[in-house]
Structure 1
Amino acid sequence: MKESPTVEFKRELTDAVVHEVIAFANTQGGVLYIGIEDDGTVLGVPNAHKQLEAVSNKLHDNIQPDILVHLYLEVVELDKKEVIKIAVARGARRPYHLKRKGMKSSGVFIRYGTSVTNASEENIRQMIIESDGTNFETMRSLKQELTFEEASHFFAQTNIKFGVEQQRTLGLMTDDGYYTNLGLLLSDQCEHSIKCARYLGNDKLEFQDRKEFSGSILAQVESVYEYLSLNNATSARFVGLKRLETESYPSPALREALVNAVTHRDYSFSGSILIHLFQNRIEIVSVGGLVKGLTIEDINLGISQSRNPKLANVLYRLKWIESYGTGLQRIKESYKESLERPFWTTSPNAFVMTLPKQQLTTPDSDENELEQWLSQQSEFTTRELEAYLNKSKGTVRKLIEQLIAERKVTRVGNGRTTRYRTLN
C-alpha cells in the first residue's frame, strides 16, 4: 500500500485527519487510514473500536455541513494489526469546512495530488455554484458573519417578525443554517452599492457632486430616495385662485424606478446601480438586461418576470411593491400631465430608465396666450398651432388631444384635411 491522490495514511488521530477528510469530500473522495506511517508501515491503533467512536465525534464536531452521511468508518486488520479506515465520498454540499473558520480559505481544504492545501476564494465560489446551482438568491453566501440591524428596522416598521424562522421562510437562510446571497443583500454587510452623480448640464462633462450609498439594500433605497427628493425641485402656478404645485419629477415615478432597479438588477455582476441627475432628466442604469426570453414589447404590455423573485417577495411584504408587473405602468401614469414621457432602453447587460423633467401640457407662460389665441380662431390646423407655439409636432399633437379631452376643440375632417374647431 502507498499514498496516492485518493489514499492517505496517518499515524494517529490529530487535527490533520479532519483536514484530510474535508479535502477528500471537497475533491474526488478517497480513503484515509489511521494507524499507518507515511511510508506504508502498519503501526495499528490501540483500542481501535473505542477510537473509532472518537474519530466519528471529532469529524462531526469540527466539520460543516454535516459530513457523516458521506463517510463509512470501520476497523480493518492489516498485517495482523487493527487500523481505522475512513472511506470519504465526494460531498453533495461542498465546500465542507472547519466549523470554527467558516467558508473562508483558512477553513476550506482541497486535495492537490497527495497533498492538502487551502482552497482559494474562486475554488470556494465554484464549489458553491456546483452544489447550489446558479440562482444567485439561493446560493450560500461566501460571507456568513452577517448582521441585520438595518433590515430589522424596516421589518419592525411594518410590524413583520424577522426572527430566524422568518429568515428561513423568506429565503435569507438555508435549512441547515447558512445565509444565502439574499441574506447578504439585506444584511448590513451588503457588498453592492448605488452610486449617484449630479451634473451641471445635460451631459457628463461637469460634476456638481457624487455620492455612493452602501449598507443593507433596504437602507440604500431609503437613502437614495431621500437624495433624489432633495434634488427634486417644486414649482407653483395658479389656476384662477387655486395654487398648484408641480415636482420636476413625479415622486411616484422616482420611487417606482428606484425600487424597479433594485428588484430586477443582476447581482451576479459586482457593478453598482448608477443614477445620473442631469438638468433635464434622470437616468437610472441597472446592471443586467432583460430576463432571458422577455422583450421591450413584453414589458410594455405589463408582462413581468422577476430575476430575483425572493427579493421581490421581501419588498412586496414590506409594501414597497404594490403588485407584480405594474411598476412601469405606474411610472407612465405619473407623467400623464406632462408633455414629456418616461422611456427605457436595454442592452444585453443593462436596463436604463430615463425620467424626463416634467413639462406641463399647458405651461404657465403660454396658458393665457394660448387661451387668447384659441378665442380668436374659429378653426385651425396642427401646422398653424405648431407655428404659433414654436413647438414640435409631437408636443402639439399631445396638446391637441388634451384640448379635445377638455372639450375646448373638436376634430373636423380626416387625414390631410383635418382641422380643429374651437368650442366656445
Structure 2
Amino acid sequence: MTEHFTGPPPVRLELNRVIDALSMGRSADAIESELVDVKEEPRRRGDRKEVLPGATTNEAAASYLAGELACLANSGGGAVVLGVADDGTVIGTQLDVEWLRHRIYELTDRKLTVTAAALLLRGERVLEIVAPAALEPIRFRGKIRHRVGKNCVEIDAATWAGTHQIRMGYDWSAQPSTRTLADVRVAAVEVARDFLLASGEAAAADLASASDRDLIRRLNLCADSGTLTNAGALLLCAGPAVIDYRRRDVSGGDAVTRINRSDRSVLEQLAQVIEAVRLHNPRVELDVRWVRGLTYRVPDLAAREALVNGITHRDWQSPTATEIEHVGDRYTVISPGGFIGGVGPDNIITHPSVPRYPQLAQTLAKLRIAERQGIGVDRMHRDMLALGLPAPVIEQLPGPAVRTTLIGGEPDHTWLELRERMHPANARDDLDFLLVLDTTARRGWISGPTAAAAMQRSRAELVV
C-alpha cells in the first residue's frame, strides 16, 4: 500500500529495468547492477555445455542462491533474476517457487525470507527473487558477506553494523558526548581558525572571526547546553594519538621523523602531520612549453586529501591509529575500517560519497580541510595523473582497513607536453580523459570496455 504514496522501491525499479533490457536481448554482464544480479540456474549444463532439462528442485541452485541473496540482504536488499546466462541467453528454470523460498530460509538459519515470482521472458519461464534489507547480519555457512560494487565480499559483524547504522540514518559523530565547552583546547580552536583563513575565502574568514563559542556552534559541534557532539570532542578536545606518521628516506631505514602525539585534539594532530608531510616532500621544477614553476614530488593536495580521508572515513570505534608511511616518494595511508555503503576500489571515483560519519565530514569541509563530498578522491587521481604519475591505489586490507598509496617522483615531461597539445584546452584536466589517456599509454591500446573500466563507468554510460 505504501507504494501509492512513496512510489516503487528502488529494487523494484531496477528489477523492471533489468527485465526490460533482458527482453531486448541485452547480455547480463552489461546490465547487472549493485541491486540486481542475473544468474543461470546452477547444474543446468551438461559436459558439452548443453542445456539439461529443468527440475522443480535443485539443491545446488538453492545453496548458491541462499549465499547470493544473503549478501544482497546484508547490503540493504536486492534481487536476482534466475534463468538467464551471462551472454543474455534465456535458458529458463523449472524450480518450484515455494520449495526454493523455504530452502533459502532454512539455509540462512531461518533469517532470510525472500519473495519470488515466475514470469515469462522471451518465451521461457524465469524467476525474480527479491531479498529484503536485513535487520541483523545474515550468515551463510558461517560468513557475513555484503556487496562492494557488483561483488560480494566477506566482512565482520562490526563492519556490517556500521554500514547498517548509516543506512538507517544513524550518525555517531552527531551524537552528544560527555565533553563540554570547558574541555575544548584553545590551541585546537586556533588551528580551526588557521585552516579557515588559509582558504582565502571571505565566508571562511567571517567564520574565523567569530568568538570561540560562536565558532563551535556555527560548526554544529555543540548543543545550546554546551555539550559537544562526538565530532566536536574528537576535533577540539585532548585525546590519544590517532595519527602515526613516519618519514623514512629509504625503505627499511630508520624513521627520520615520527609524529605520534597524545594529549592533543585531532585538529592539532592533523595540522602537525600536514606540515610534516609538506616539509619532507621535496619540490621539483616544471618547464614544459609555457608551463613553468615548482611542484611537489608527491602532489601536495593529493597527499593532503589522502591523509584527510584517512581521518574522515576511518572507523572511530577502532583504537588503532591512522598510519602514514612516507618512504622516499612513496606515501601510504592506512586507516582502520573497511569500505562501506557499496563503495569499493572499482567504483570509488564514480560512486556517490557515503561518509561513515556525516557530521564529522561536513565539519571538516566547513573548515576547508576536506574537499566537498565526492570530490577528494577525484582530486587525488587528477593531480597524480596530470603530472604523468601513477594513479592512486586504494584497496581494502584484512582487519578491515583501507590503504591508499601515492607514488610520486619527477613529472613526466613527455606526458606534460602531450597534455599541453590537447584540444580543447579544458579537456586537459578532465578526469575521464586523464584516466583513458593513462590506460592507453600503459597498454598501448584502448577499447570501449577497457575505457569504461578505466573511468569506472558502465559501457552504457559511454558517449560515442
- TM-score w.r.t. structure 2 length? 0.46
The structure showing larger relative contact order (alpha-carbon pairs under 8 Å, at least 6 residues apart) is 2
